[in-house]
Amino acid sequence: MKPILRTLIAAAFFAAGIAQAQVTVEDAWVRATVPQQRATGAFMKLNAAKDTRLVSATSPAAPVVEVHEMALQDNVMRMRQVPAVELPAGKAVELKPGGYHIMLMDLPKQVKAGDTVPLTLVFEGKDGKRESLEVQAPVRALNSSTQPAGQGAHKH
């Protein structure tokens, strides 16, 4: 191979690497709501190519979106807003019922199974640089099989 061609291929490969998202999202979903329910959670698996953190999210489906953590506190499952979810390089982090989740609040209307909720996730790298990523999260029924016990406390 001529050196010039090899350089071109290397450059193309490098450019492709830059364009690739630093974080991959798998199995994103949003829990369906019942009428009058004003909040729900979004869940997914996140995998970062390099150390980063999930700092916020937005969605056209909800005016208020927060990053929450659910944990056992004095034997009661409680949730609270957290400033960020750390995503160490190469380590999958799962946002799931009973743990970290993205909270969609002040919902203007019911979120029904079969709908798709667009989410924009905002990540912040160690250098303080922010990057956003669009995710289309399908809505799953309230009594999804992935739902563990103790979800009754997941209400505002």
Residue 109 Cβ vs Cu ion, minimum distance, rounded to whole Å? 19
* Residue with smaller CB distance to Cu ion, 41 or 87: 41
Closest contact distance (angstroms) between CB of 79 and Cu ion is 4
Q: How far apart are the first and last CA of the chain?
A: 64
Nearest by Cα to 131 from 29, 56, 68, 64: 56
In the bound state with Cu ion, the residue whose beta carbon lies nearer, of 49 and 82, is: 82
Of 44 and 79, nearer to Cu ion (C-beta) is: 79
Per-position DSSP letters for 71-110, written without gaps between them = EEETTEEEEEE-S-EEE-BT--EEE-TTSEEEEEES-SS-
Q: Which is nearer to Cu ion, 49 or 77 (CB)?
A: 77
C-beta of residue 67 within 8 angstroms of C-beta of residue 81: yes
Binding site for Cu ion (CB under 5 A): 68, 79, 103
The residue of the chain with the least Cβ separation from Cu ion equals: 68
CB of 31 vs Cu ion, minimal distance in Å: 11
CB 70 within 8 A of CB 79: yes
* In the complex, least distance from residue 69 CB atom to Cu ion, rounded to whole angstroms: 8
